[in-house]
Structure 1
Amino acid sequence: MYLEIVSPEATLFSSEVDAVTVPGVDGEFEMLNNHAAIVSLLTAGTVKIKVHTQNHLEYDKLHPEVAPHVSDSKILTLNIKSGTLELKDNKIIILAD
Structure 2
Amino acid sequence: MYLEIVTPEAILYSGEVTSVTVPGVMGEFQMLENHAPIISLLGAGNIKIKGIVAIEKEVADKFSQENGATLLPINSGTLEMKDNNIIILAD
TM-score past 0.5 threshold: yes
Q: SS where residue 9 of structure 1 aligns?
A: coil
The ranges of structure 1 where at least 4 consecutive aligned residues each deviate by more than 3 angstroms after the TM superposition are none
Aligned residues: 91
Q: SS where residue 56 of structure 1 aligns?
A: coil
* Residue type of the alignment partner of 1:15: G
List per-residue Cα deviations over 1:45-72 (Å, max 9, x = no partner). 0100001x2x515x2x343344x22335
TM-score normalised to structure 1 length:
0.86
Q: SS where residue 8 of structure 1 aligns?
A: coil
Root-mean-square deviation over aligned CA pairs? 1.4
Q: In the alignment, is residue 83 of structure 1 matched against residue 77 of structure 2?
A: yes
Q: In the alignment, is residue 64 of structure 1 matched against residue 60 of structure 2?
A: yes
* Residue type of the alignment partner of 1:85: L
Inter-partner Cα distance in structure 2 for 1:83 and 1:31: 16
Q: Give the gaps of 5 or more residues in structure 2.
A: none
Q: SS where residue 60 of structure 2 aligns?
A: coil
* Residue type of the alignment partner of 1:26: M
Normalized per residue, the structure richer in strand is 2
Inter-partner Cα distance in structure 2 for 1:87 and 1:93: 7
* Residue type of the alignment partner of 2:87: I
| Structure 2 counterpart of 1:26 | 26
TM-score normalised to structure 2 length:
0.91
1:17 is displaced (CA, Å) by 0.2
* Residue type of the alignment partner of 1:63: V
